Amino acid sequence: MELALQLIAIAAKLWPTIGDIIRGSSHPDARRVADILPDPGASATVAAELRRGTP
Amino acid sequence: MRLGIAGAALLVASCIPAGAPTDRPGARSAVLLVAEAVHVADVTCADVAHAMASTDRGKALAVADACAHGYAVARSSLLAAEAAVDAYDAGGAGRWGCALRDSLVGLRETSAALELAGAKVPAAVSDGLSLASTLSGLACAPQSDAGGG
């Protein structure tokens, strides 16, 4: 009985992490615009390189 | 990957009857698909500018700057559209379409810079433009009919 209570307590503590893992793998909201479009973008990076004189 | 984006964009667009309001999953899918189109446009433009740099550095910089500006405009609008979708039931349903429409300005700018540079605009970008134009037309209602004269 005591062991079961301890397991429940551990599971409760880990639940936010488990939830994050579940959301990260299958939640429809997992992909975000900021993941697709980093700041700065590729063109801005190339523009900065050209200004610095690096190829 | 790019064919997948184009196919998904066409699928989303074809599944929305003319004049029908878009629900939250549809809105979110549309925002993410247009973001993918913006990403493809940005990467393509960066490649074009990079290749151009060896022959005409000034023109390459102009192309990269134009694309970077378009990207920034589209990105901020899409972040706003996504925030509106997140708050769909709290008023966001009436805002995401207009934010998506605003992202068109940036995507068009990047697309135009690619054309000016003599590059082919990828199908995923054209499809993103088409999808954003169609959906924002449906979801961003003009305010003119609210006043009643």
Tokens representing residue B91 in the block: 């008023």
Tokens representing residue B97 in the block: 């379409």
d(CA B139, CA B121): 26
Q: Where are the domains of chain B?
A: 2-9+24-139
**Predicted interface score ipTM higher than 0.90:** no
What does the pLDDT read at residue B130?
93
Mean pLDDT value across residues B63-69: 97
| CB distance B93 to B112 below 8 Å | no
* Average pLDDT, rounded, for chain B: 85
Residue A4 has pLDDT above 80, yes or no: no
What is the model's pTM? 0.75
Residue B20 has pLDDT above 60, yes or no: no
Contacts of A27 in chain B (CB under 8 A): none
| CB distance B24 to B85 below 8 Å | yes
Compare CB distances from A47 to B38, B47, B68 and report the shortest one's residue. B68
| CB distance A16 to B14 below 8 Å | no
B64 has a chain A CB within 8 A of its CB: yes
Residue B144 has pLDDT above 50, yes or no: no
Q: How far is CA A6 from CA A2, A14, A16, B49, in A?
A: 6, 12, 17, 60
B77 has a chain A CB within 8 A of its CB: no
What does the pLDDT read at residue A7?
57
| CB distance B147 to B107 below 8 Å | no
A37 has a chain B CB within 8 A of its CB: yes
B99-111 pLDDT, tens digit per residue, is: 999 999 999 999 9
Residue B76: name the closest of B38, B125, B46 by CA: B38
